[in-house]
Amino acid sequence: MKYEQFNTQLLTLLGGKKNIKSVAHCTTRLRLTLHKSKLAQKKEIEKLDGVIGVVENRIAYQIIIGTQVTDIYNELIQLVGINHPSDSDGRSKGIKGVVQSIMVVVSETMSSIVELLLAAGLVAGVLTILTMSKVLDANSSTVQIFSAISSATFYFLPILVASAAAKRFGINPYVAIVLAATLLSSGINGAEGLILFGVPLKPIVYANSFIPILLAVWFLALVIKQLQLWLPKALHYFLLSALALSIVLPVTLLFFGPIGEWIGLGISAFLYALSESIGNWFVVMLYAAFQPFLIVFGAGNFVTPIVVHSFATQGYDPIFFAATISDFGVAGAMLGYFLRAKIQKEKQLFGTVGLSAFMGITEPAIFGAFLKYRRPFLAVMIGGGVGGLLAGLMGVKRTVYAWGLAGLPTYLDGGVRNFIWMMISVIISFVVAGITAYGLGFPKAKEHFEDEEGVSIEEPSAIVKILEKTAQGEVIPLSMVQDQAFSFGALGKGIGIVPHADTCEVLSPVDGVITLVYPTKHAYGLQTASGTEILIHIGIDTVNLQGKYFDSFVSMGNHVKVGDKLASYQVSKLRKASIDPTIMVVLINEGEI
């Protein structure tokens, strides 16, 4: 396991395996549901190599990691070994607890399948462009074959939801898939004249639906859990799945199917009423303006079921396409900061996360820059709001599940006028947000100082002069360090030191007590008499060396004075191994040194 050490440390800091109800992930974050959030050591988790930040709310405990999150997640679930329904144990009490559980389940289920929905949407969008440009004949077999990717994905959506929800509840996904496939069979899906136990069944189309199968799999998990308790283990193999399906299918047909239809109709009625009373433009404008806040709180996927229902009932989405307008606002804000920044490392940061937002992935920008500088939120609210207002007034809609730059051509499916106004809306959002961000600039708390030689640094020169005593080398701003956990400021303020010599001695910059000596000898913690904590981290990804090329001269609890040797390491060996030898010296908490 590549990330076994990281995940082992993470589990310990989260309060152990028993404290974890469930684990899921999105593009850049681990999303966990914990039994007791207070057991999680947030500050210590934020110190882990590779962790950009931690966002804690009532919906989920989110650990922002980056693009390697999938690999970390795949190894973490093996270590956790959740094999039971995590949210069906009745621990959530009261209305708030029930609502919270529902939000967690919906969000994590959609997180697992949203990539497939996007893929299906993009394929449909490309086919639309090719047929409208006469490259392909709309009636050709080629178009028919590739169209099946999109149509099948949405038609068999209940099967995808069943698989994702089953994993979320900790049951055999194949049992849930069989249940979904049964609902989609020609004898049940939309069939008229069905009678179950003498009760006439209303014809319900389960294809393209979300809510009925989600409710059904939740109930399936409860039934399986009880049957496992009641049935002798010797009979589990023969009877468990058969009895569970025989119990859940009638309940689904009698209750969950109609409930799903009622909820869908209720959502549609609410949106229709809102659009009729205030105007659809108002809803589109609000969503485009505030979507980054939904991302922060992990609520970005809550609207997916509504979008899917809109496609199934209306054939288009008249509201939540505004996410793309918001994404372009995020990209524009990062361009404004890119033009405003003077330090090369910051330009790299804003340019990189801005390009990601341009393609429809905004988490790196929001967690890497927005939370740090705050003012970009206002820029997107203004830029996204203006773009969303225009799109809403012009009646823009999307008929294909797609977003970001790659999804823009799919708006041609709604007509040339639809495409033109969408393009104008995203351009306005991008430009207005960019101009606003450039004008707002950096908060004063984050402004940079210059030392006596005119070198731009991130801390007042008095603090730098103390921290730079750690080692001999070139002092650089922390934002220039090639490690997001440090350069984004998630761990605190500080400096980087690039050593020149082949062997570097790491010294204590203060009088204090050693509070941390990492087993691999690459990280040290100190605490001064006034309570200020300093973290010294040697190199990037050096934890993988397991102490090779490092020597340590202190232990936890040792008292040290300024200039005492903490460690030494072979810089030349790290460089030969293509490992960055930069030392990060960070103030974990701010106080008198």
Angle at 377 between CA 421 and CA 62, to 5 degrees: 110
Q: DSSP 3-state assignment of 516?
A: strand
| Side-by-side strand order, sheet with 503-507 | 503-507, 565-570, 550-552
The DSSP element (H or E) to which 550 belongs, if any, is strand 550-552
Contact 379, 394 (CB under 8 A): no
Tokens linked to 4: 């076994």
Distance of CA 256 to the CA centre of its chain: 30
The residues near 369 (Cβ < 8 Å, ≥ 6 apart) are: 334, 337, 349, 350, 353, 376, 488
- Please state the three-class secondary structure of 222-285 as a single string: HHHHHHHHHCCHHHHHHHHHHHHHHHHHHHHHHHHHHHHHHHHHHHHHHHHHHHHHCCHHHHHH
Query: What DSSP designation does 582 have?
Result: P
Query: Which residues participate in catalysis according to the annotation?
Result: 26
Name the burial class of residue 565, with classes exposed (0-12), middle (13-18) and buried (19+) by CB atoms within 10 angstroms of its CB: middle
- Measured between alpha carbons, how far is 175 from 376 in angstroms, rounded to an integer? 46
Residue found by looking up tokens 């033009």 in the block: 339
Q: 346, 343, 371, 289: which is closest to 52 by C-alpha?
A: 371
